[in-house]
Amino acid sequence: MELLNDEYYMNLALQLAEGPAGQTGINPAVGCVVVKDGRIVGMGAHLQRGTPHAEVHALNMAGASAEGSTVYVTLEPCSHHGRTPPCSDRLIHEKVQRVVVACTDPNPLVAGTGIAKLRSHGIEVEVGLLEMRALRLNEMFNKYIATKLPFVTLKTASTLDGKIAAKTGDSKWITGESARAYVHTLRHRHQGIMVGVETVLQDNPQLTTRLPVPALQPIRIVVDSRLRIPLTAQVVTDRTADTIVLTTELADERKSVQLEEAGVSVIRCGAGPQVDLAEAMRLLGEREIGSILLEGGGRLNGAMLTQGLIDKIILFFAPKIIGGADAPGNFRFEGIERMEQAFVLERLELQQFDSDICISGYPRCG
Ligand code: AOF
Ligand code: ZN
């Protein structure tokens, strides 16, 4: 039985924030609930970058009832003039009595100053209620705002023996329908989907979000050192979403022009024989891509993992064993020599999708 207390209202604010998760781009997902004399008088969520913050929607709904109220907000109210005016000023103006905040805003432009401003105007502020859930909700925003680098989620779907296709190349399908539907939900929640050119050559994927409801289409990103991507590939021709090809200074200029003419953006990352992946992340971050879902293949997964560019890993396993020394695996890299060098996942979570298992976690740093 849920008790009516601060946690009850913060839980509601978090639920409001969680609904639009993924649609705020490089902005955080935020929810807000205003309570006055035992009644909810306002609720709001931030829906899209450039539109009002959660507090503004909730306070607009509360109207005059905001005076003397308690405001529950999942992120520290902002104190800076961004695309919208500071929420802390608005809370002060409305004469709210108390503000309960789940977590501070890691944006260097805010970082505690919103809370300090409220307190300096005599508003009671409590920080840290359901903090872990609020931090988790905005894990992508938290990384991007502090580093200007995208948060990268690596996702694979393999057999129990780690294969992403049979030795013949056949890969349709490894996991079942509900696991695949979840992958489309993951696509909706990221700003970019990234694959290696091998995947494009093998499968000619659309790399779009396909769900029973309308969903967001992330930018498609193909890592292709030698511009081997065919001009007839679906990601070049179908125009359902933008496409970026990451290549090197050495890549063929003529092919680059042809791709640009087809509407694809070509970005050169480094002058070596391979795409400089760290530089690629920096350049994608500069283009305000704050989150990327990496969908293979094995070689790109291995390179991104060994270069420390992966923030989160989501592994789907179908209860199948297919063998084949040449059947491609989900991680291809030189390999470690001693077990102590293994990449270890922390904060593990297990989920089941029909008969498929999903293991997710965060690679331990350092
Ligand atoms: C809040 N409530 O609902 C959100 C906040 O470009 P702007 O004006 O939308 O500002 C974006 C920054 O504001 C963002 O980086 C984060 O620090 C904060 N987001 N703050 O008080 C909200 N979405
Ligand atoms: Zn704000």
How far apart (Å, rounded) are the C-alpha atoms in residues 103 and 75?
A: 5
Which ligand neighbours the alpha carbon of 90 most closely? Answer: 2
pLDDT at 145: 97
17 lines ligand 1 (CB under 6 A): no
pLDDT in tens, 17-41: 999 999 999 999 999 999 999 999 9
140 lines ligand 1 (CB under 6 A): no
Phi, psi of 218, deg, nearest 5: -70, 160
CA of 136 to the centre of ligand 2 (A): 19
Task: Annotate 257-270 with b (16+ C-beta within 10 A) or e (fewer).
Answer: eebeeeebebbbbb
82 lines ligand 1 (CB under 6 A): yes
Instruction: Report the binding-site residues for Zn(2+).
Output: 53, 78, 87
Proportion of the chain above pLDDT 70, given as a percent: 99
3-state secondary structure of 63: helix
pLDDT at 2: 82
Mean pLDDT rounded to a whole number for the chain: 96
CA of 121 to the centre of ligand 1 (A): 21
Q: Give the relative orientation of helices 54-62 and 6-18 as an angle to the nearest 10 degrees.
A: 120
CB-based contacts of 30, cutoff 8 Å, min separation 6:
17, 45, 46, 53, 54, 55, 73, 74, 75
Question: Domain coordinates of the chain in residue numbers?
Answer: 6-141, 149-365
| pTM for the structure as a whole | 0.95
- From the list 7, 18, 55, 198, the catalytic residue is 55
Please state the ipTM of this predicted complex.
0.91
CA of 90 to the centre of ligand 2 (A): 9
Instruction: Report the binding-site residues.
Output: 53, 78, 87, 157, 171, 173, 187, 199, 203, 207, 210, 225, 295, 297-303
83 lines ligand 1 (CB under 6 A): yes
Residue with tokens 């056949």: 170
**Closest to 220 (Cα-Cα) out of 211, 177, 204:** 204
For β-strands 291-294 and 192-196, DSSP reports them as: parallel
31 lines ligand 1 (CB under 6 A): no
> Environment class of residue 279 by beta-carbon count within 10 Å: exposed (0-12), middle (13-18) or buried (19+)?
middle
The answer to whether 6-141 and 149-365 have equal CATH topology is: no
Per the CB < 8 A criterion, the answer to whether 25 and 191 are in contact is yes
pLDDT in tens, 55-97: 999 999 999 999 999 999 999 999 988 888 899 999 999 999 9
Looking at ligand 1, which atom is closest to the CA of residue 81? 8
Per the CB < 8 A criterion, the answer to whether 267 and 283 are in contact is yes
How far apart (Å, rounded) are the C-alpha atoms in residues 106 and 348?
A: 24
pLDDT in tens, 268-322: 999 999 999 999 999 999 999 999 999 989 999 999 999 999 999 999 999 999 9
Which ligand neighbours the alpha carbon of 81 most closely? Answer: 1
Protein residue whose Cα sits closest to atom 18 of ligand 1: 78
Into which CATH architecture does domain 6-141 fall? Answer: 3-Layer(aba) Sandwich (3.40)
CA of 273 to the centre of ligand 1 (A): 40
CA of 279 to the centre of ligand 1 (A): 27
Per the CB < 8 A criterion, the answer to whether 15 and 44 are in contact is no
Q: Is the pLDDT of residue 366 over 80?
A: no
Fold adopted by 149-365: Dihydrofolate Reductase, subunit A (3.40.430)
pLDDT in tens, 216-236: 999 999 999 999 999 999 999
7 is an active site residue: no
**Closest to 341 (Cα-Cα) out of 309, 311, 313, 364:** 364
pLDDT at 1: 64
143 lines ligand 1 (CB under 6 A): no
Structure tokens at 46: 């931030």
142 lines ligand 1 (CB under 6 A): no
Tell me the average pLDDT across 2-11.
94
How far apart (Å, rounded) are the C-alpha atoms in residues 347 and 362?
A: 6
